[in-house]
Structure 1
Amino acid sequence: MLVLGIESSCDDTAAAVWDDGTVRSNVVSSQADLHEDYGGVVPELASRNHQRLIVPVVQRALAEADTDAGALDAIAGTYGPGLPGSLLVGLSFAKAFAQGLDVPLIGVNHLEGHVHSVDLGPIPPDRPFLCLVVSGGHTELVHVGEPFQYEVLGRTRDDAAGEAFDKVAQLFGLGYPGGPDIDRHAESGDPAFHDFPRSRLDDFDFSFSGLKTSVLYYLRDRSDAERERLLDDHLDDLCASVQAAVVDVLVDGLRRAVAETGVEHVAVVGGVAANGALRRRVEALGRDEGGDVSVPSLAYCMDNAAMIAQAGAQRLAAGHTSPPTLDVQSSLQL
């Protein structure tokens, strides 16, 4: 089954070819440099650049897969959640391409794609498992049962973990996206330098707005000279302290879910799953609890089309297809 996946939910234009358990190609064109000056994604700029990039990205994916469009069995496209304009570009292309080739169209939930990214590894996890979905736009704890059965145990009540990293990085004068910069600086820092707050709620929901506000006040209550000196002398320590606060909350929620549900196999997916400290802590959790841990390779943590193609192939195998009237759903949930 040869499936072309298309992903354009935010600022990455991506296409990939999935062939019966093998990723034949996985092309991602990032717009990070374009949005860096704004400290975040500008939706109008993102959608315009998707329009410019979608055709060459798909052409490159087909070329790297050493196949042509006529050999495709289906087209899988992200239809939500995400930025409406960005989603519209990718889904419109997917619909037109599927209709032109007379092959099935499979709409894929972007979050479902992330959940299924763990299946791109050499040993897919057994079901059920607990999946922590952490990215710039989403932080959710999900119980994954039989194929396409999801129970959301908790989600963020305000900022997502990746969003908190991005906003704090901006306060520290770092680039966009902020998560990788914070991770890099934290490697040389002291996580005990400052005890930033951890929001631990009674249920499995998350909250990171308090952390962001705490960092803001921590810097604002100093003179310009003091703040500049602090960032010059202790940027690595501050990044490590912020990272520790985020990771503590995420791993604590996952640990409590393991204890309450009895599901020992855990997975972490999404852009923040590339964070080194989070990966180490989750692996330690697996050792402590005697369970298995699945974390995608770095290439499949970020937004990519391989996870969309693979999830689409699984849906097609189960007899699921989408009508040509499929529309984008920017607030789509699992």
Structure 2
Amino acid sequence: MTASSPFITLSNGVKMPAVGLGTWQSSPEEVMAAVKAAVKAGYRLIDTAALYFNEEAIGTAIKELIDEKVVTREELFITTKAWSNEIAPGKLEPALRNSLKKLQLEYVDLYLAHMPAAVNEDMSKAVNSPVEDVWRQFDGVYKAGLAKAVGVSNWNNEQIGRALATGLTPVHNSQVELHLYFPQHEHVDFCKAHNITVTSFGTLGSPGRVNFTLPNGHKPEWAPAPSELKDPNVLAIAEEKKKTPAQVLLRYAMDRGLAIIPKSVHENRIKENFELFDFTISQEEIAKLEKSKISQRLFLQDFMIGHPEDPFADERK
């Protein structure tokens, strides 16, 4: 019998699996095999985005899994995201319909604004579209039934607050970079206070980030960062619990009440990343892990520098 992921419940009652498969940097060929391996291992949440250029392959894998009666559509939770050129005025609903066509789905379970900063079609210049206007478009696709829930990614607390102040559909989920060396306590507390669930990306410190290239050919620079997988406290707890350092880091985020979406294209690693339900990380152990006091954002998203809606402008000073 395959283990099943626990759920976190969104403010509209939608249940979201707490553990999902991340697919950033997974090629179409790799992602088809990864999705099939993940679903067969018990995963029900698959996280993708227009920017990942693999929605079509994921759609094919989902269709084949459903046709083979491995899983039903209702059992799956599919998240995708609108890139910065898709949140510009009037662009969102066509973008989501295009993603749905690629995914071969009638709706997604969660649709996120990948960034708060809108840009023009070829990403050559900023579009000054306030987050309130971006959120109005998300309210529209939610009310049209194209997404069971809507949320944001890489937005700061103030921007989320402005979206909430519109009085429209509330923000259901915030997906942010969050890991042991960037624990995001202030953001998590803000989201909890507003009944917004949080998804952590980069939970393992994203060692594969250095290979990434944006669609416009820009290859981001990455500051050197210590490896969380080699943190002495992580290693000590892993040894004590007979778990891998990766499993400890993933469970650390889960035991803070967060959803996680570790990415892998290797079947053994996909299974390992799901073997998290036979142990926990206590509050005392969380405090021990966080004694490192390292706080380093890895994903600087420097393409947003100078944009009126750059969410990290205060950090860049």
TM-score normalised over the length of structure 2: 0.29
Q: Which has the higher contact order (CA 8 A, sep 6+)?
A: 1
- Higher relative strand content: 1
TM-score normalised over the length of structure 1: 0.28
- Higher relative helix content: 1
